[in-house]
Each structure stands twice: as structure tokens, then as C-alpha cells.
């Protein structure tokens, strides 16, 4: 059993023993590989994402936790730091600021915090970022709210 598998089994057990209100679901996709996970995050309260549910695909490298997992949104998300078509997330802990101290749970929670606290200076979605840069918070929240209503309903598998 590799170090990555041991670590992921422990994280799975921790997730099951101490569920998070913000994370609706976090588990391996199937029994075939513990390196492929799926998460569903609840939209942050008091944000335009509130009421939405956002699915993430998580691919864990064999070198985990030394190397970071790759997380992408499966649910289309309108956010300055998320590529609308690919689901790629611009977040420093997924790249240069990764540390083995991060877990899949803490990484998902960091992404949930990012939803409520966009950083328009490093955008993957320039349209959303430009609304914030121009100070059009009402327009930004309306756009995000519309996409949340359109795409971020609770997945049938969790209903």
C-alpha cells in the first residue's frame, strides 16, 4: 500500500467520522481507484452562490500528499477565478502554495471560501472579474445568481 493510498484511506475515514456542513459529499468515485474522488460543496452563505451545490472532480496523484490534487468544477460556475468551460480553478494552494498539511477536506473548504471571496486580479473568467474591477457588485451578484440557479441544483444522486 502506497503512502498516498494510506493517507487517502485516513482522510476518507476522517470525512465519514466528522462530516462538514459546507461539504455535502466527499468520497472516492468508485471502488476501482482511491485516486479519483468527487466532492459536492454547498454554496457559501450570504453569497450569490448560496442555495447552490457545486460538484468537483478530484484527481489525486500517486505522489500525494507531496504533490497537490487536481480539482476542477464539474458544475458550471461563474466566478473570476474559475474557467467557465473547463472548471479549472485559480487558487495558489493548488499550485505553488501546496503543502502536505492540506487535506482533500481542507482544500475543498478553501475552494468554498474562494467562491465567496473572489480575487479579480488573477482571473480565469475575465467577464466576471471585470464586473468586480469596475465596481459593479450588483451586476456581478445578479450574473452569479442566475448561473447558480441555472446550473447548481442538488445532484440527483444526493437527493
Q: What are the catalytic residues?
A: 90
Q: Name every residue whose Cβ is closer than 8 Å to that of residue 105 and which is 6 or more positions away in sequence.
A: 11, 14, 15, 20, 23, 26
φ/ψ of residue 27, rounded to 5: -165, 160
φ/ψ of residue 4, rounded to 5: -65, -45
What letters, b where the CB count within 10 A reaches 16 and e where it falls short, cover 68-96? bbebbbebebbbbbbbbeebbbbbebbee
* Run of H or E including 70: strand 70-73
Q: What is the dihedral of CA 92, 94, 99, 104, to 10 degrees?
A: 130
- How many domains in the chain? 1
Q: What is the model's pLDDT at position 143?
A: 96
The answer to the question of residue 57 being in a domain is: yes
Q: Which domain holds residue 36?
A: 3-154
Rounded to two decimals, the pTM is 0.93
- How many CB atoms sit inside 10 A of residue 58's CB? 20
The separation between CA 87 and the C-alpha centre of its own chain, rounded to angstroms, equals 9
The answer to the question of residue 159 being in a domain is: no
Q: CB–CB of 144/128 below 8 Å?
A: yes
Q: What is the model's pLDDT at position 39?
A: 96
10-residue mean pLDDT series, the chain (159 residues): 93 93 94 93 96 97 97 97 97 95 97 96 94 96 96 73
Q: Domain containing 140 — which CATH number?
A: 3.10.110.10
The answer to the question of residue 135 being in a domain is: yes
Amino acid at each position: 500500500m502506497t503512502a498516498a493510498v494510506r493517507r487517502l484511506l485516513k482522510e476518507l475515514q476522517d470525512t465519514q467520522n466528522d462530516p462538514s456542513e459546507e461539504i455535502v459529499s466527499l468520497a472516492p468515485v468508485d471502488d476501482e481507484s482511491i485516486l479519483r474522488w468527487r466532492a459536492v460543496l454547498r454554496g457559501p452563505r450570504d453569497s450569490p452562490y448560496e442555495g447552490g451545490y457545486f460538484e468537483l472532480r478530484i484527481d489525486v496523484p500517486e505522489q500525494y500528499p507531496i504533490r497537490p490534487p487536481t480539482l476542477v468544477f464539474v458544475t458550471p460556475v461563474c466566478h473570476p477565478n474559475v474557467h467557465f468551460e473547463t472548471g479549472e480553478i485559480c487558487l495558489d494552494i493548488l499550485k505553488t502554495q501546496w503543502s502536505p498539511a492540506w487535506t482533500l477536506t481542507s482544500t475543498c473548504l478553501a475552494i468554498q471560501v474562494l467562491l465567496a471571496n473572489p480575487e479579480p486580479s488573477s482571473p480565469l473568467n475575465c467577464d466576471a472579474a471585470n464586473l468586480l474591477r469596475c465596481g459593479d457588485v450588483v451586476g456581478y451578484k445578479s450574473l452569479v445568481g442566475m448561473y447558480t440557479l441555472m446550473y447548481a441544483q442538488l445532484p440527483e444522486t444526493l437527493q
